[in-house]
Amino acid sequence: MRIGLIGGGNIGKFLLQRINIDGLLPGGKIVGIYTRNEKSAAQLAVEFDTKNYLDIPSLLQADVDLIIEAATIQVVKEFAASVLENGKDLVLSSVGALADLNFYRNLVRICQESSTKIYLPSGAIGGLDVLKAAKSIGELDSVSIITRKPPQALPGAPIDREQVMFEGFAAEAIKLFPKNINVSIILSLAGLGPDKTGVKIISDPAIKKNSHLIEATGSFGKLTLQVENDPMPNNPKTSYLAALSVLAVLKNKDSFIQCG
């Protein structure tokens, strides 16, 4: 598998190390990278034995089978359609872009026309298999997530007291906290949608790790799942599970036996 990577931040560097240096994706390699910082991109290309592209259209014209987006929601909005139209499968890290249902439906249409696929890593949460199972027969009644984060991770949060920063639905949460609540969108896509997935975001100075409490009800009974995320070893701002889930998608993409 020949892979193109958009983004040279924490997740991008993790994937370059694990795939190109550690060889954790047998038969796969990141052969091209684009990031806005040209100096950083040139350094990454040398360090991880890949090619630096000066813009995304050039990367899309390269001999790659799949593109990983590890950048921003804005990059997804601007270039996801082009990736698919160029016949490349797409792994999305910034899944919050799909909260826009018109945008989501347009990408589905392009996938159908171009025989391409979009892969969504589970990110920093679990329980998606239960939601998909209940949704498949229309018997999922409610889904909600309560996210607690240290104040430093939430813009405008007070540092001396706990405070509810948002309470509502995922569609609005991703607009107000685009870098903080991708988990609610992947949860909503597996379940009831961004307009029906309840979200509460709490700033808590007593914690050092992000935590997510997921609750769902339906014909299956009740799901209660709590996940406490360790940060990446070299950067406390990024969930380690989020990075690992992207690698897991790549490793399982062509498996003959798939779970869930």
- Mean pLDDT within 210-239: 87
The reply to whether 163 falls in a domain is: yes
Report the DSSP beta bridge partners of residue 200: 146, 167
Residue 141: domain span: 128-229
Q: Residues 21, 83: one domain? A: yes
pLDDT band at 90 (very low <50, low <70, confident <90, very high): very high
Residue 260 lies in a domain: no
Note the pLDDT tens digit of each residue in 228-258: 988 777 766 678 888 999 999 999 988 878 7
Q: Could you report the per-residue pLDDT of 130-144, keeping only the tens digit for each?
A: 999 999 999 999 999
**pLDDT tens digit sequence for 151-165:** 988 989 999 999 999
Mean pLDDT over 188-199 rounds to: 94
Q: Does the residue 224 lie in any domain?
A: yes
Clarify whether residues 197 and 96 are in a common domain: no
**3 within 8 A of 66, measured Cβ to Cβ:** yes
User: Is 234 within a domain?
Assistant: no
The CATH number for 187's domain is 3.30.360.10
Evaluate whether residue 236 is within a structural domain: no
Helix (H) or strand (E) holding 4: strand 2-6
- 146 and 105 share one domain: no
Instruction: Please check whether residues 159 and 74 belong to one and the same domain.
Output: no
In a domain, residue 101? The reply is: yes
* 212 is a catalytic site residue: yes
Q: Using the 8-state DSSP alphabet, how is residue 230 labeled? A: P
Task: Give the per-residue pLDDT at 113.
Answer: 97
User: How high is the mean pLDDT of the chain?
Assistant: 93
CB atoms inside a 10 Å sphere around CB 104: 17
Instruction: Please tell me the predicted confidence (pLDDT) of residue 133.
Output: 92
Quick check: 70 pLDDT over 80?
Answer: yes
Considering the domain architecture, whether residues 30 and 81 belong to the same structural domain is answered as: yes
Query: Is residue 91's pLDDT more than 90?
Result: yes
Question: pTM for this structure?
Answer: 0.90
Of 52, 151, 212, 242, which one is the catalytic site residue? 212
The CATH number covering residue 49 comes to 3.40.50.720
Residue 258 is assigned to a structural domain of this protein: no
Closest among 97, 23, 91 to 254, alpha carbons compared: 91
Examine the pLDDT at 222 and tell me if it is beyond 80: yes
Is the pLDDT confidence value at 20 over 70? Answer: yes
% of the chain surpassing 70 pLDDT:
98
Do 114 and 9 fall within a single domain? yes
- What pLDDT band is residue 8 in, cutting at 50, 70 and 90? very high
pLDDT band at 60, cuts 50/70/90? very high
Asked whether residue 259 is assigned to any structural domain, the reply reads no
Do 104 and 179 fall into the same domain?
Answer: no
Same domain, 183 and 222: yes
**What string of DSSP letters covers 66-94?**
EEEE-S-HHHHHHHHHHHHHTT-EEEES-
Which residues have CB under 8 Å from 93's CB, separation 6+?
Answer: 7, 11, 68, 69, 70, 71, 121, 182, 242, 246
Q: Per the structure, how many domains does the chain have?
A: 2
Same domain, 105 and 9: yes
Pair 94, 137 in one domain? no
Same domain, 163 and 146: yes
One domain for residues 248 and 225: no
pLDDT of residue 235: 67
> Buried b vs exposed e over 200-223: b needs ≥16 C-beta within 10 Å?
bbbbbeeeeebbbbbbbbbeeeeb
Give me the pLDDT at residue 260, please: 65
- Asked if 95 and 185 touch (Cβ cutoff 8 Å), the reply is yes
